[in-house]
Amino acid sequence: MCHQTNKHSAMELPPSCKAAADRMEQALRAEDNDSYVTAELSSSAVQSLTGAEQKLSRELGRKIVLVAYESR
């Protein structure tokens, strides 16, 4: 289970959350390996994603981490 931290981005996940994200990525790849890949994001896109994480975290009162995938 992921532990709450003061981290502000999916790029800085604690090891327990990174392991969960890695397992999810493996499951998604196994489910439909040819349809989606981890998105390659520009620095401005990462900033937008981080801002969305922070906004959702504040609104929901929980630490939210967003992950980006793209269609092939």
DSSP letter at 54 equals: H
Angle at 11 between CA 18 and CA 44, to 5 degrees: 150
- In angstroms, the Cα distances linking 61 to 23, 29, 65, 69 are 25, 30, 13, 25
Other beta carbons less than 10 A from residue 19's beta carbon: 12
pLDDT at 6 over 60: no
Tens of pLDDT, residue by residue over 7-50, are 455 567 677 787 888 888 888 777 766 677 889 999 999 999 99
pTM: 0.53
Q: Which residue has the tokens 């489910």?
A: 31
Q: What's residue 62's pLDDT? A: 94
Instruction: Compute the C-alpha angle 42/43/48, nearest 5°.
Output: 95
